[in-house]
Amino acid sequence: MRFTAFIFPLLALGAGGYFGYHLQNGDHGLEARADLDRRTNVLEGELAGLREVRLRIERDVALLEPESLDPDMLDERARAILNLAHPDDLVMMKRRAPDPTGPLVKR
């Protein structure tokens, strides 16, 4: 057989291999798609958490509006910001978990 009879099949095989490789590993290939899907799931979870925080903040702001000012909310926020307590308040301190490295270990 002549060599020219093998040129077209070799070129077709090379082109198929090239496109097959980039289908799997290219910038827009299957691996990149899987990475984008994973990143999308992580960012959707983060977005859901941020939406919850936003709703909580909006609720707190609504309680501080002049039309619906909640005196307890105002008192709570003022004491937290000023770091003060009323003499009749019962203050409960939270204990911290002990440091496993100990106070004398350099970090």
- pLDDT at position 89: 78
Per-position DSSP letters for 46-102, written without gaps between them: HHHHHHHHHHHHHHHHHHTSGGG--HHHHHHHHHHHHT---TT----PPPPPPPTT-
- pLDDT at position 95: 82
Distance CA 99, CA 49 (A): 30
pLDDT in tens, the chain (107 residues): 677 788 998 999 999 999 999 999 888 889 999 999 999 999 999 999 999 999 999 988 887 777 777 788 778 888 888 878 778 877 777 887 777 776 665 55
- pLDDT at position 103: 65
Distance CA 20, CA 36 (A): 20
pTM of the model: 0.50
